[in-house]
Structure 1
Amino acid sequence: MTASASPIAETSLGRVRGVALEDGLVFRGIPYAQDPVGDLRFAPPVEPEPWSGVRPAEEFGPAVPQTVDLGRREMFGLPDYVTSEAGSLTLNVWTPAVDDARRPVLVWIHGGAFSWGSGSDPVYDGHRLSTRRDVVVVTMNYRLGALGFLSLPGVQGSGNAGLLDQLAAFHWVSRNIAGFGGDPANVTVFGQSAGAVSTAAHLAAPRSRGLFHQAILQSGSGEMVLSAEEASARAVEFAALLGTVPEDLDRLRAVPVEDLLAAQERFDAIMEERGELAAFLPVVDGVLLSESPLDAVSAGRGAPVPLILGSTRDEARLFTELLPGPDLGEDDLLALLSDHPDPAAARSGYAALEERTAPGDLFAAVLGDRLFAAPTERLAIAHAHAGHPTWRYEFRYRSPVRDGALGACHSLDIPFVFDQLDTDAARRFAGSDAPAALADRIGAGWVALARTGVADWPPFDPESRRTLLLDEHSAPVDDPYGARRALWPEQGQLASGGSSTR
């Protein structure tokens, strides 16, 4: 079926009516799971009931309940989401046409530190990526914060409800995407930040095997998980803020969502005071995940799929420059370097490599390497050592806003991936003259992997460590991290449990 005033698509649960755009179609707010309310709060997702007639899929569903996202306000100048537990587990599909073309499918998992975000965010609008590259793009909501990642005894899948939501969305794609012009046998999962950490988790999760065929990790790693013991300890502390215990499931399910979110704000503050920049993370629960994704991939137990992964050059500048917090001084920098065999030498080494050398700038450089560049390298090496095709990149385009203080910070690559550089949100973050050619370069590379299983630059291997540097003039180079790697502590000291995935 071609574009019309009221495009109709068939799903296994019933027909849906989307919206015809100037070119292409969009279907918004399609439920992939029942409302996670009542006895389904904290529980694994349950498939929706079928419907009769044609269900409107013209408006986005509400975002899942979440605390205020200061980053969304500061980064993109966007208003807060409309949220609700009811009606929140939905997904959205952009397609050039409802036909039998069997296009490559790209399924996006949004970031937000496992506490914020929505697949309806205009920054993730899949229209241009879909129509300009002739692919089908899917975005989703999944449960966040305590609703998605609170570990509770006796609850199946507890601690990973958000990942199980993503898995349910994958199953929906497998069953239904052919009805939207997509190919269920050619699905690429891609995500940024917490979405990339989620993608790494699905590389390691046996239950996700076969539901996707390529993967792309943007600024995430295979190490940002909690042990079952740590997750349980956090659950005890969180429940105490509500005056209860994790075992009192009935009470936790009856708590008004506003009270739960107020407790979550307090819990976030407690975790931040301890230096834990993410209060909620996926859990090695022995059910969905039996080990960290890095360990699974290193042992050859990860999904054997072609993989692109990378980070931005100045990841942590988002946190140190854009989000509110105290000014960082020399003591903070030296404390961050305290696990290095020679902190003073490491400080001098970073100062020699960075254009901005104030303590706060060097702190950002070190933190970015600790949370993103080094873990990305470890996962790339592990995946390549396992014999699976691997491509690595580093995004280096520096935003001119705020007098260039953001650099190539965390999340700056998103409007390039979705070809949204001319939107108000992207201009606020990436500047008014961000190069469209870079968006074209990234789109070509990502879709080459999605279409053929092979990226369009030379692959990564542990010897050459070839990496595509993405900038106004992009090129692959061998081992661009050599000088920086010499400043990293021993890999065993770079544990990232509790690291920020914002």
Structure 2
Amino acid sequence: MTHIATTNSGRLEGHEADGVIRFLGIRYGAPTGGANRFLPPQPVTPWTGVRAADTLGQIAPQFSSPRRPSSSEPSEDCLALNVWTAGLNGSRPVIVWIHGGGFATGSGYSPQTDGAALAQREDVVVVSINHRLSLPGFLYLGELGGEDWGHEANPGLLDLVAALRWVQENIHAFGGDPSRVLIKGHSGGGGKVGSLLSSPPARGLFSRAALHGGPPFGLKDRGRATVTAQRVLEVLGLRSADRQRLQELPLERIMDAQSQLGVGSEPTEHGMRFAPVIGTASLPTMPQDAFGAGVNADVPLLTGTSVDEMRYVYNARPHWLDPAFDLDEATLERLVAAGVDNAADAGLLLDRYRADYDAGRNVDLLTDILSDQFLERTARLADAKARSGQAPVFSYLCTLNHSQPNGTFHGVQMPLFFGNVGAGPAGLTGPAYDAASDVLRRMLAAFAATGDPNDAGVAGIEWPAYDPAQPSQLVFGDDGFDVTDAWLAERRPRWAGITATAFTDPWGRAFEAASRTQAPEEVTVA
């Protein structure tokens, strides 16, 4: 069955199956190549007649990645979004999904985050977005281009602003309520949500926010971003940021330059070379500082992490699980130091962790420290938001699969929020996952509707608002749900006095080490 929705650019034909109407590949901006390259998004050209919306849009130029759907190819014509809805009439809460992949890879669609189940079971409208990434999305030329450039920083972030503006202007035609819009992201998507919460152009375009496993990492100040931009010009053989020449270059040359600077399909040391730039009109300050200053104080926040975030590396490098494998002391300290602002803090962190427990191998100690960095950074964001905001913060911790070798790794919880159990990175299924998904879907929908997940009315589960003076979390794992401060009370004291801002990134060096260290049969046990 087909349905017609009328937007401010033209009419679209969507297709209904299993009680959900899908509109795929909707253009919210013009192609970003040629004269539009490195510039803010431009309006889409209106059309006459009815345009089919039955195919996923092309995705942003990027390296090959597991996150890339096989039906999509990279293109500078990538400003597209998808909508799932149970009906075109009514006024449903809207959940806007912003994908992860750092700031370099990913797309708005994956089997884990398909919006159909959430839209059908919870009667919400789900939107997902493609936008510019990496060098095309975050090359900063503000200091090098001069007056002739006319450049605004962070076009990849401004794409998201344009998509949210499209939602405000059009979502009513898809049965959505523009006054109840939740922006939600995981990993790099969480970093983008944090950036949008801090971005003046995005204010008023959403009313709730959810930040999963993604306290902002790898953001850049203008000085560092300018150094990278100068390096790009050198690789491209350009003496200056000549606007016409940069826009006339073939896309292949642009992407080759990105490759030469070390940006690939995994978050290596250079994977965050191109990221949102702070100190600009679209991102004046770091998210934690913006929260502390009361920016978007009236926007409720739902945030949380998985307890073993960094064990995600084990999925890519299974030899790290071999008992014979380990890291030497120098490598361990270097990798811990890479994730904090002051490298001298690495020794203090190691001493504190070793005083509390015996982690066994150095590689296990490393993954525990870097996993806890997600918990600590997220808690600091929650502290800042709760202390200065008028709206509540709700914090969670996922411990599902914690007893297994790869643990509660990065992203294990996300399919549960969408109702897509078994579609995650490891295809994890079972009664505990089904039960958790049933609760999390309902609470997410309630949060989108009212700003309070407790309005889902889940029997026996009350999720208290986060209080920095007496912090607690909703913890869900193999044994069900609990509200406790145990994880925060145990782990946060180890991070007292340790500076870890959005400028640092623990991911890259861990993957770099995983790529370069010896395989188990070759390793000498440290």
Q: TM-score, normalised by structure 2?
A: 0.85
1:38 Cα shift? 0.7
Aligned partner of 1:64 in structure 2 is 60
Aligned partner of 1:82 in structure 2 is 73
Aligned partner of 2:307 in structure 1 is 313
Q: Does 1:141 pair with 2:130?
A: yes
Q: Distance in 1 between matches of 2:7 and 2:378?
A: 37
1:320 Cα shift? 4.8
Residue 34 (structure 2) aligned to one of 23, 30, 38:
38
1:317 Cα shift? 1.1
SS in structure 2 at match of 1:226: coil
Q: Distance in 2 between matches of 1:350 and 1:177?
A: 51
Q: Does 1:477 pair with 2:480?
A: no
Aligned partner of 1:175 in structure 2 is 169
Residue 152 (structure 1) aligned to one of 141, 150, 154:
141
Residue 93 (structure 1) aligned to one of 63, 69, 83:
83
SS in structure 1 at match of 2:453: coil
- Whether the 8 Å CA contact 1:149–1:158 is kept in 2: the answer is no
1:291-315 residue CA offsets vs partner (Å, 9 max, x unmatched): 1111111122344201011111011
Q: Distance in 1 between matches of 2:417 and 2:17?
A: 20
1:250 Cα shift? 2.3
Query: Quick one: which amino acid aligns to residue 382 of structure 2?
Result: A
Aligned partner of 1:234 in structure 2 is 228
- Whether the 8 Å CA contact 2:182–2:209 is kept in 1: the answer is yes
Q: Distance in 1 between matches of 2:51 and 2:306?
A: 41
Q: Distance in 1 between matches of 2:268 and 2:18?
A: 50
Aligned partner of 1:122 in structure 2 is 111
Q: Cα gap change, 1:158/1:332 in structure 2, threshold over 3 Å: closer, same or farther?
A: farther
Residue 17 (structure 1) aligned to one of 13, 18, 32:
13
Q: Distance in 2 between matches of 1:274 and 1:63?
A: 22
Residue 462 (structure 1) aligned to one of 451, 468, 474:
468
Q: Cα gap change, 1:37/1:342 in structure 2, threshold over 3 Å: closer, same or farther?
A: closer
Aligned partner of 1:409 in structure 2 is 409
Q: Cα gap change, 1:232/1:320 in structure 2, threshold over 3 Å: closer, same or farther?
A: farther
1:271 Cα shift? 13
SS in structure 1 at match of 2:127: strand
Q: Distance in 1 between matches of 2:216 and 2:267?
A: 25
Within-5 A mapping of 1:381-460: 381-387=383-389, 388-398=391-401, 404-423=404-423, 426=424, 428-430=426-428, 435-456=433-454, 457-460=463-466
SS in structure 2 at match of 1:148: helix
Within-5 A mapping of 1:317-328: 317-323=311-317, 328=327
1:382-435 residue CA offsets vs partner (Å, 9 max, x unmatched): 0000133111111111278xxx33211111122112111244xx3734357762
Task: Could you tell me which runs of 5 or more consecutive residues in structure 2 were left unpaired when the two chains were aligned.
Answer: 321-325, 338-343, 455-462, 509-526
Q: Does 1:109 pair with 2:98?
A: yes
1:260 Cα shift? 1.9
- Whether the 8 Å CA contact 2:422–2:428 is kept in 1: the answer is no
- Whether the 8 Å CA contact 2:64–2:265 is kept in 1: the answer is no
1:129 Cα shift? 0.5
Q: TM-score, normalised by structure 1?
A: 0.89
Q: Distance in 1 between matches of 2:425 and 2:347?
A: 42
SS in structure 2 at match of 1:428: coil
Q: Does 1:359 pair with 2:350?
A: no
Q: Does 1:380 pair with 2:371?
A: no
1:486 Cα shift? 2.0
Within-5 A mapping of 1:47-62: 47-62=43-58
| Percentage of identical aligned residues | 34
1:263 Cα shift? 2.2
Q: Cα gap change, 1:163/1:459 in structure 2, threshold over 3 Å: closer, same or farther?
A: same
1:11-65 residue CA offsets vs partner (Å, 9 max, x unmatched): 1111100111121100000100001111101110011121111111011111111
1:126 Cα shift? 0.1
Q: Does 1:331 pair with 2:322?
A: no
Q: Cα gap change, 1:251/1:292 in structure 2, threshold over 3 Å: closer, same or farther?
A: same
Q: Cα gap change, 1:343/1:375 in structure 2, threshold over 3 Å: closer, same or farther?
A: closer
- Whether the 8 Å CA contact 1:24–1:127 is kept in 2: the answer is yes
1:476 Cα shift? 1.3
Larger deviation, residues 132-141 vs 336-345? 336-345
SS in structure 2 at match of 1:430: coil
Q: Cα gap change, 1:242/1:109 in structure 2, threshold over 3 Å: closer, same or farther?
A: same
- Whether the 8 Å CA contact 1:112–1:501 is kept in 2: the answer is no
SS in structure 2 at match of 1:284: coil
Q: Distance in 1 between matches of 2:239 and 2:294?
A: 39
Larger deviation, residues 295-304 vs 173-182? 295-304
1:449-484 residue CA offsets vs partner (Å, 9 max, x unmatched): 111111221110101111111213111112522221
SS in structure 2 at match of 1:130: helix
- Whether the 8 Å CA contact 2:412–2:425 is kept in 1: the answer is no
Query: Quick one: which amino acid aligns to residue 333 of structure 1?
Result: L
Q: Distance in 2 between matches of 1:384 and 1:157?
A: 35
Query: Quick one: which amino acid aligns to residue 386 of structure 1?
Result: S
Within-5 A mapping of 1:341-352: 342-343=348-349, 345-349=351-355, 351-352=357-358
1:270 Cα shift? 9.9
- Whether the 8 Å CA contact 1:149–1:159 is kept in 2: the answer is yes
Query: Quick one: which amino acid aligns to residue 250 of structure 2?
Result: P
Q: Distance in 1 between matches of 2:141 and 2:242?
A: 9
1:120 Cα shift? 2.5
- Whether the 8 Å CA contact 1:152–1:235 is kept in 2: the answer is yes
- Whether the 8 Å CA contact 2:297–2:388 is kept in 1: the answer is no
Aligned partner of 2:511 in structure 1 is none
Aligned partner of 2:493 in structure 1 is 486
1:256 Cα shift? 1.9
- Whether the 8 Å CA contact 1:34–1:46 is kept in 2: the answer is yes
Q: Cα gap change, 1:274/1:92 in structure 2, threshold over 3 Å: closer, same or farther?
A: closer
Q: Distance in 2 between matches of 1:270 and 1:181?
A: 39
Q: Distance in 2 between matches of 1:280 and 1:208?
A: 21
Query: Quick one: which amino acid aligns to residue 301 of structure 1?
Result: V
Q: Cα gap change, 1:444/1:248 in structure 2, threshold over 3 Å: closer, same or farther?
A: same
Larger deviation, residues 150-159 vs 104-113? 150-159
Query: Quick one: which amino acid aligns to residue 493 of structure 2?
Result: A
1:205 Cα shift? 1.2
Q: Cα gap change, 1:272/1:109 in structure 2, threshold over 3 Å: closer, same or farther?
A: closer
Query: Quick one: which amino acid aligns to residue 364 of structure 2?
Result: D
Larger deviation, residues 200-209 vs 277-286? 277-286
Q: Distance in 1 between matches of 2:34 and 2:487?
A: 52
- Whether the 8 Å CA contact 1:391–1:459 is kept in 2: the answer is yes
Q: Distance in 2 between matches of 1:415 and 1:481?
A: 25
